[in-house]
């Protein structure tokens, strides 16, 4: 595998499973030195060991990004370990919640939005702010040969732009994320920071169990749509986008299983 990210540092949140795990591995295979973060420290250590066994470099930084203070502390530790602001940041931490506005667990709404929306926006704020300060201090633009790169990739969802009555609260949180990502893209794009929204359809991972989706009904969905996406499909897409030249920005990508007609 080619290594386009040699001499770059990446940070992936929500890296203890699924898309985050696969993305961290893919970035490391492509040459990046990777910081991985999630709440489950033991899972992160297993990921770090797997990356190291394949010849890569990684370090675990456990944190709950729904807690701004924990996020700030984690970010400071990553910057110290990296020797500067990472060139690639993937904001993947988040969770789902089964059910519509009437049927979902209302007691879970606040924690859902605290992680998916306010926690994600706080993380976006500190990352983009640090990237902007770094680029301004260096006095470089995407037109310069020595432009270091500055990518903030945020995981959205197809239900963040296609209303689903079966994912009412979760979809609402991803609508908010979509708005925040596009607003930030317009705010900092002129500096060379690429803020990208990745909107996956159905990806088979532990996401479904954590969100509380009914196993029987989800099985019917799989039977209807056919082969589902795997976390590696999303990771491959992210690596492709980040590897584009600095003046090129694939800013929004919707990626679904070929048989998924909705949402």
- Using an 8 Å Cβ cutoff, are 191 and 132 in contact? yes
* 262 is annotated as an active-site residue: no
CA–chain centroid gap for 225, Å, is 24
Distance CA 88, CA 111 (A): 27
Q: What is the DSSP string of 86-150?
A: -SEEEE-------B-TTTS-GGGHHHHHIIIIIIHHHHHHHHHHHHHHHHHHHT--TTSTT----
Distance CA 209, CA 93 (A): 16
Containing H/E element for 257?
Answer: none
Burial of residue 161, with CB atoms counted within 10 A of its CB: 0-12 exposed, 13-18 middle, 19 or more buried: middle
Which residue is it, tokens 């196993």? 215
Residues paired with residue 229 on neighbouring β-strands, in sequence order: 203
Count of positions (residues) in the chain: 263
Cα–Cα nearest to 19, from 192, 223, 208, 250: 208
Cα–Cα nearest to 89, from 54, 129, 50: 129
Among 21, 61, 170, 225, the one annotated catalytic? 170
- Positions annotated as catalytic residues are 170
């Amino acid at each position: 595998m080619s290594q386009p990210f040699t001499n770059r540092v990446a940070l992936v949140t929500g890296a203890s499973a699924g898309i985050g795990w696969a993305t961290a591995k893919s970035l490391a295979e492509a040459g990046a030195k990777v910081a991985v973060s999630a709440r489950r420290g033991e899972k992160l250590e297993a990921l770090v060991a797997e990356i190291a066994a394949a010849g890569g470099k990684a370090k675990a930084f456990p944190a709950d990004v729904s807690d701004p203070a924990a996020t700030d502390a984690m970010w400071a530790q990553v910057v110290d370990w990296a020797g500067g602001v990472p060139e690639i940041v993937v904001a993947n931490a988040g969770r789902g919640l089964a059910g519509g506005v009437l049927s979902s667990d209302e007691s879970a709404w606040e924690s859902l939005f605290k992680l998916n929306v306010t926690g994600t926006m706080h993380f976006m704020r500190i990352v983009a702010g640090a990237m902007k300060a770094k680029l301004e201090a260096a006095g470089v633009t995407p037109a310069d040969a020595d432009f270091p790169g500055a990518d903030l990739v945020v995981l959205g969802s197809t239900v963040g732009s296609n209303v689903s009555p079966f994912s009412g609260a979760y979809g609402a949180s991803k609508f908010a994320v979509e708005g925040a990502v596009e607003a930030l893209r317009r705010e900092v794009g002129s500096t060379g920071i690429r803020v990208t929204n990745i909107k996956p359809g159905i990806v088979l991972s532990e996401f479904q169990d954590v969100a509380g989706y009914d196993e029987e009904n989800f099985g019917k969905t799989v039977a209807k749509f056919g082969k589902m996406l795997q976390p590696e499909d999303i990771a491959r897409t992210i690596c492709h986008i980040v590897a584009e030249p600095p003046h090129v920005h694939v800013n929004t990508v919707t990626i679904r299983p070929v048989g998924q007609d909705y949402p």
